[in-house]
Structure 1
Amino acid sequence: MDKRLLDQVQKALQSQQDTIKRQEQMLDDQERYTKQQLRKKDQDIAELTASLTKLAQAQTQQIQDLPSLLEQSQTKISEQIRAQNGWEQHRKAFAEKLKLLITESITLSNAQIRLTELMQTYQSTIAPQDNQNSVMSELETILGNLKNSQTIINTTQGEISSFQSTTDKIQQSLTEELRQLER
């Protein structure tokens, strides 16, 4: 009986050792799995940290570039406003000169009408010398006024041409700057 009991105890011990080995194997497998998961998490954290660092650098660069871009935009806008104001001033001066030209043209036309009427009066009635001297004096006055008006008209036309040329240059400049801003 002792032998049987001894065999049973040995079998029980062997069974217990096998169970302990299986449990050790399971613990080793669990430890390897845990280490593998930790390595994967560490790798994921490192990749996420690198991505966040790159993103932070890109955003920092954008933030650093923002004042420069804003300053460039403000400079362009200021230049456009100055050019627009200059263009408006030239257009206003051009309109005033054109108004003066029209006024002088009307004055000249009225003087020519008056001269024509006087000439008709002169031709229809050849008056005595005193009347002729009076008509001649009035004609000379009208002729002097016509010359003055013509001089003013010529000067005004020259100024208008100059203003028109300047206006064309400003308009070309504004068009070019607008194209540059649209890019």
Structure 2
Amino acid sequence: MYEVLEGKNIRLRKARKEDYQSMLKHVWGDEAVYKWMLYQPTLTEEDAIERCRRSMEFQKDHYAYFVALKDTDEAVGLCAIKETAPGHYEESGICIGTAFQGKGYGKEIVALLLKLAFEELGAEDFRYGYFLDNDKSKKVAKSFGFRYDYTYELTRTWDGCVKTIESCIMTREEYESKFIIQNS
């Protein structure tokens, strides 16, 4: 497993026990963040400790990371990708604490995940999905050149909220023409 992915301002790294406080403050307990996520909010310190423990266990054999600021190593978000079929990957959650949004970290996360999928894992394609009403995520998808593929509905288990998701795709050829050639 790729333990750490380094970006310019952030690093994607595996969870640590002490991350529970910053994740509770910035992500799991922040309504402005969890309204966009599928997970149930975590509102107490005790629950955050347990959630962090589960995250550490899950991350052992998944491409799942906490997003940490490079200068302080403070955990301010999370992200993950998964292989849905051989060579076919998709993001399976990206979020950043409200206080850290609008600083380009979302784009940096997506760039690191694309590089992992295409350059390290040999992906044929990569899917990126977002709630239809999440303009920030939609903007990130467009900035990378993801192509709209289809729309589907999903019901959040913790609150019964029905969300419409737009699924976008990028092929290996599209990634290489946009990112490998430009960076050569």
**Which TM-score applies when normalising by structure 1?**
0.16
Q: Normalising to structure 2: TM-score of the pair?
A: 0.16
Higher share in strand: 2
